[in-house]
Amino acid sequence: MKRPIKAALVFGATSAIATAYCRILASRGAVLHLVGRDHDALQNLAGDLDLRGATKVSVAVADLCDTEQHKKLVTEGWESLGEPDLALLAHATLGSQSEGETDWKQQRTLIQTNLISPLSLLTLLANRFEQQHSGCLAAISSVAGDRGRPSNYIYGATKAGLSCYLGGLQHRLAATGVRVLDLRLGPVDTPMTAGLSKGLLWSTPERVAHAMDGKLARHHGTVYLPAYWRPIMGVVRVLPDILVQRLGI
């Protein structure tokens, strides 16, 4: 079923990818409810989206790691949007693989932000959408979750967990008319990856948001963004262990 996205609830809205996607929606006159951590940044973003043509933009400030608040946040989202066509989860941190290997606290923070927080939100959102019998539930995951690799398995594990959960949710809700999307992104030039050197396969928030826009209106299931990551990860998944170790990827 194809239904244009006119009302969207966005968690982690000030992240570069969510911002780029919100701008596409705003240019079509969408109604947006933005949830994020920083009040000033959210207000500025609301002003930006308003100028770009959004019909209405409302904001809610919250630390999304605090799962106690999730119920209230979801309720507020429905109150300000009516029946949203889309809920997008875009919050995550990258952490440091090398530091995390010897620092459990850092790993735990990463799991809290990238896995526990989105799973709590997905639980609430899935039930809401199920009652509504329509809508699209999408979360930004990563190709890092496709295979445990020495360069980023801590971050990868949180994303693998998220992707697995989304897969199950998609099948559970298949009959209800609710679409669930697992957006598996390759590396993107954003604040999260500011310290990394960028190679040929890197994308930009604008390009990814544009590709996402094409998928969110009608697809469901696992989507690789940009699309070239599907064949690449197809290969990476079946690489012999010895090669993964040798390449240190």
Partner 1 sequence: MDRSTYGWGGVSTGTPAYTFAPTSVRDLKQIFSSGEHKSFLGRGLGRSYGDCALNTDGALIDCRFLNRLLSFDPETGILKCEAGVSILNVNRLLSTTGWMLPVVPGTQWVTIGGAIANDVHGKNHVQEGCFGAHLIALKLARSNGEVFDCSLESNNELFAATIGGLGLTGLILSAKLQLRRIQSLTMKARRIPFDQLSTLFSLADEHFEAWEYHSVWLDPATGCRKGHYIMANHSQRQGNLTWPAKRRIRFGVMAGFPSDLPGRLVMKTGNLWYRRGIRSGAQETTADAVLYPLDRLPDWNALFGKPGFFQHQSVLPTAVAESALDELLSVIETSGQRVLLAVGKWFGPRSSPGLMSFPVPGFSIALDLANHGTKTHKLLDTLDGVVADCGGKLYPAKDARMSPTLFTSGYPKLEQFTQQHDPLFASDFWRRMEQSG
> Binding to partner 1 by residue 48, rule CB under 8 A?
yes
Contact predicate 172/137, CB 8 Å: no
Per-residue tokens: 6: 């006119």
Q: How many CB atoms lie within 10 A of CB 176?
A: 15
If the CB atoms of residues 83 and 189 are measured against partner 1, the closer one turns out to be 189
Contacts of 125 (CB under 8 A, 6+ apart): 74, 87, 137
Q: Which of 47, 82, 148, 214 contacts partner 1 by CB under 8 A? A: 47
Cα separation, 184 vs 147, whole angstroms: 13
Q: Tokens 């070239």 map to which residue? A: 228
Query: What DSSP string describes 25-89?
Result: HHHTT-EEEEEES-HHHHHHHHHHHHHTT-SEEEEEE--TT-GGGHHHHHHHHHHHHSS-SEEEE
Q: Which of 5, 8, 11, 14 contacts partner 1 by CB under 8 A? A: 14
> Binding to partner 1 by residue 57, rule CB under 8 A?
no
Q: Which of 4, 44, 218, 243 contacts partner 1 by CB under 8 A? A: 44
If the CB atoms of residues 19 and 163 are measured against partner 1, the closer one turns out to be 19
Minimum CB–partner distance for residue 71 and partner 1 (Å): 26
> Binding to partner 1 by residue 148, rule CB under 8 A?
no
> Binding to partner 1 by residue 41, rule CB under 8 A?
yes
Contact predicate 213/88, CB 8 Å: no
If the CB atoms of residues 175 and 200 are measured against partner 1, the closer one turns out to be 200
> Binding to partner 1 by residue 234, rule CB under 8 A?
no
Total residues in contact with partner 1, by rule CB under 8 A: 20
Cα separation, 125 vs 9, whole angstroms: 10
> Binding to partner 1 by residue 113, rule CB under 8 A?
no
Instruction: Catalog residues that contact partner 1 under the rule CB under 8 A.
Output: 14-16, 19, 38, 40-41, 44-45, 47-48, 51-52, 190-191, 194-197, 200
